[in-house]
Structure 1
Amino acid sequence: MAAVDFSSGGAGMTEQGYKAFRESAALLDLSGRGKLRASGEDRARLLHAMTTNHVQEMQPGQGRYVFFLNAQGRIQCDANMLAMEDYFLIDTEPETHEKLYKHLDSYIIADDVVMEDVTAATATLSIEGPHAERILSAIGAPVPGEPMASVAWGARLAVRLNSTGMPGYFLMVPAEEREALLGELVKAGAVPADSGDARIVRIENGKPRYGEDILETVIPQETQVMYSVHFNKGCYLGQEIVERVRSRGRLNRILVSLDIETQTPPPANAKVTVDEKEAGRITSAVFSPGRGKVVAFAYLRTERVEATNLMVEGSPAGGVRRPLNQPEI
């Protein structure tokens, strides 16, 4: 690993936690993430009609990353959709599970679907880093093989998911087992990390987050996270807009990752300029210890993506690249 500068890391970053993500296995408590459970005979049909990805073809143990849209094609939230034998488990950002519950419940009329918010009853711990699989094996947990696959482990569930773009696994367990599992993971060698560490690694890796980078004002194609969309699945809420954009093949703006030649992250909504004219807006930015500069997400006007003279608050910017466009690495 190249020399790493932690001197400008700022609040929310720990050297131990950051290194664990990059070199070993970091332990995150993600118990604040939302959990909805959808059961009933019509569950697949309803969720298929409400999401951008193909739900009806999912088999137990499989997972899909999805967007929920409104009628105008704008992204209301994202989710990890996990198929179980007799229900779907929907994993969301902490801020969106209540909104999503109300959204889905409003569309259940004559359908045989029962929607439950099981957030408080479920704890989620995440192991992320190059040695994540080793930690799972050490505690006797099953290791899911395919991206977003899930394997039951008693009352627990192991899922091949990550929050940072590093190899990783979510362990979803009854809330009362949280403390015991934390102890098992630390004993096996997992290094506790915090949300500040995770945010830096996530942005370095180009993994956008709903609420920061994926906004409710954008459509799926603008995010460039296209493994969220199945274009041949048939009708769903917002599909007309998504298909219209695909057929026209033109976008005014897209989400990109870029480097900024400074050690001071600009605030969200800071302007990206070309020749002093606005070319886009920053959504999130952090100082990268590994690169010695700021890395950021921004929505850029498509005609400015190839520009070589981007500026952000007086600092040159470049290295424009698309976001991470796969569920796992």
Structure 2
Amino acid sequence: MAYCYTASIFFPSSSSSSSILANDRLPHLAYRPAKIKRRLSFSCAALPFDLSPPPIDHDLLDTMTVAGAKVSEDGVIGTFDNDDEALDAVENGVAVVDLSHYGRIRVSGEDRVQFLHNQSTANFEILHEGQGCDTVFVTPTARTIDIAHAWIMKTAITLVVSPVTRERIIDMLKKYIFFADKVEIQDITQQTSLFVLIGPKSDQIMEALGLADIVEQPYGSHKHYSVNGMPITVGVGNLISEEGYSLLMSPAAAESVWKVLLGHGAIPMGSNAWETLRILQGRPAPDKELTDEYNVLEANLWNAVSLNKGCYKGQETISRLVTYDGIKQRLWGIRVSSPVEPGSTISVNGKKVGKVTSFTTGKRASQPLGLGYIKRKAASEGDSVIIGDDVEGTVVEVPFLARQIPPS
């Protein structure tokens, strides 16, 4: 069988409602827009979007390695040797990050909405096709496992989760499917690629690619487009910010899409800089801020929690915490005077009041910041604390946590 390596990327007209492709059988079917506004030519294999890897050599990581990326044995891009430049782009331009090592889970079947409604903290029953949300998977006692970003599609719900929790969450979901439930859980991580754009000029790239109809839509909104007959889903926001965009596509299209994004000025960012950005933004991560030690409200994840949707896993604990004001500690940012180690104690007046969970030196090692849990009555924003034996710190608000809105 022969394959052609010369192809084009097609983006639908932003003014045509018919360009929003309703069939979301990602990644089963190819989409074809009714109207074409722009045509950007580049190298891409004209293959159907299938659940098996493409039968040709289309390795994005090989291309990135040739371009100077440092790739780990498990296929994660650590750095492009431009970490500070990429972090600058987040503030002044736009950065693009390959998060294909993050987990993607497809939940389908007639009972999928009710199933996820019962298994996580968000209210899925009020959402409609094309919308999205953050939701938290918790233990029966509301201890945190991971935050998932969910897209509500026509015939399925797609979840993006951390690479370290993917298998645990899949196993957990399958465990709670009962005999009569019409629910299917599918791991589509290896059959898809995921990029995120972040930075104030992200909108300009969307507009340049003819995707202006997604700009200024609410967080979690997503639409389907076509790349050379293969589907690409573009969503508003990314895992650490409500600004920017997430792009889900076939691995066969990934290299071409990556090149197009770079061609429009996006600066590539590796996972090392992404981790720095995660901490600076204040987004909790599994095995750090999200563990069996802390519940979902201590992690301050109010936007992902419904308090009035009825029974779901962890609901009784969450209701008691709210009713009786039982939240004893809260996750904060801590601006420090010198580097500290995760696990270090946080003290006020010689008394232990918390623990550091993450730390970064920040951009150009000039923005040292930690994340940590602090007892509610011990310190809050603007207060001074001591980390370890003698490192001075100040409790600060960080963007991701600042956007969380507790109930009045």
Same fold, TM-score > 0.5, yes or no: yes
1:104 to 160, 173, 195: 173
Paired residues of 1:165 and 1:206 also in contact (CA < 8 A): no
Aligned to 1:130: 200
How many Å apart are 1:20 and its aligned residue?
A: 1.1
Aligned to 2:184: 114
95-104 or 139-148, which deviates more: 139-148
Deviations 1:194-219 (A, max 9, x none): 12222223322333233322223321
Please state if 1:72 is matched with 2:148. Answer: no
Aligned to 1:7: none
Paired residues of 1:259 and 1:317 also in contact (CA < 8 A): yes
How many Å apart are 1:77 and its aligned residue?
A: 2.1
1:230 to 303, 306, 313: 306
Aligned to 2:214: 143
Identify if the C-alpha distance between structure 1 residues 293 and 161 changes in structure 2 by more than 3 Å, giving closer, same or farther.
Answer: closer
Letter of the structure 2 residue corresponding to residue 147 of structure 1: Y
Paired residues of 2:362 and 2:369 also in contact (CA < 8 A): yes
Q: Comparing both chains, which one has the higher relative contact order based on Cα–Cα distances under 8 Å and sequence gaps of 6 or more?
A: 1
Please state if 1:244 is matched with 2:315. Answer: no
Aligned to 2:366: 292
Task: Give secondary structure in 1 for the equivalent of 2:277.
Answer: helix
Identify if the C-alpha distance between structure 1 residues 293 and 84 changes in structure 2 by more than 3 Å, giving closer, same or farther.
Answer: closer
Task: Give secondary structure in 2 for the equivalent of 1:303.
Answer: coil
- Alignment RMSD (CA, Å): 2.0
Letter of the structure 1 residue corresponding to residue 205 of structure 2: I
Identity %: 23
1:167-206 → structure 2 map (5 Å cutoff): 167-206=243-282
Please state if 1:21 is matched with 2:120. Answer: no
Aligned counterparts of 2:391 and 2:291: Cα–Cα separation in 1? 25
Aligned to 1:210: 286
Aligned to 2:71: none
Identify if the C-alpha distance between structure 1 residues 146 and 291 changes in structure 2 by more than 3 Å, giving closer, same or farther.
Answer: farther
Aligned to 1:304: 378
* Gapped regions of structure 1 (runs ≥ 5): 1-10
2:235 to 154, 159, 163: 159
Paired residues of 1:282 and 1:299 also in contact (CA < 8 A): yes
Aligned counterparts of 2:140 and 2:282: Cα–Cα separation in 1? 28
1:75-86 → structure 2 map (5 Å cutoff): 75-86=144-155
How many Å apart are 1:166 and its aligned residue?
A: 6.8
Aligned counterparts of 2:177 and 2:159: Cα–Cα separation in 1? 16
Identify if the C-alpha distance between structure 1 residues 173 and 35 changes in structure 2 by more than 3 Å, giving closer, same or farther.
Answer: same
Aligned to 1:267: 341
1:3-82 → structure 2 map (5 Å cutoff): 14-82=83-151
Paired residues of 2:333 and 2:372 also in contact (CA < 8 A): yes
Task: Give secondary structure in 2 for the equivalent of 1:223.
Answer: coil
Deviations 1:29-58 (A, max 9, x none): 000111111111111111111111101111
Task: Give secondary structure in 1 for the equivalent of 2:87.
Answer: helix
Identify if the C-alpha distance between structure 1 residues 166 and 200 changes in structure 2 by more than 3 Å, giving closer, same or farther.
Answer: farther
Paired residues of 1:222 and 1:253 also in contact (CA < 8 A): yes
Please state if 1:324 is matched with 2:401. Answer: yes
Letter of the structure 2 residue corresponding to residue 324 of structure 1: L
**TM-score normalised by L of structure 1:** 0.90
Paired residues of 1:261 and 1:293 also in contact (CA < 8 A): no
How many Å apart are 1:17 and its aligned residue?
A: 1.1
Aligned to 2:11: none
| Bigger Rg, which one | 2
How many Å apart are 1:311 and its aligned residue?
A: 0.7
Aligned counterparts of 1:244 and 1:57: Cα–Cα separation in 2? 24
2:297 to 202, 221, 234: 221
Deviations 1:164-193 (A, max 9, x none): 437211100012211111111111111111
How many Å apart are 1:325 and its aligned residue?
A: 4.6
Aligned counterparts of 1:282 and 1:197: Cα–Cα separation in 2? 20
Letter of the structure 2 residue corresponding to residue 143 of structure 1: I
Task: Give secondary structure in 2 for the equivalent of 1:52.
Answer: coil
Aligned counterparts of 1:293 and 1:127: Cα–Cα separation in 2? 23
Paired residues of 1:21 and 1:130 also in contact (CA < 8 A): yes
How many Å apart are 1:226 and its aligned residue?
A: 0.3
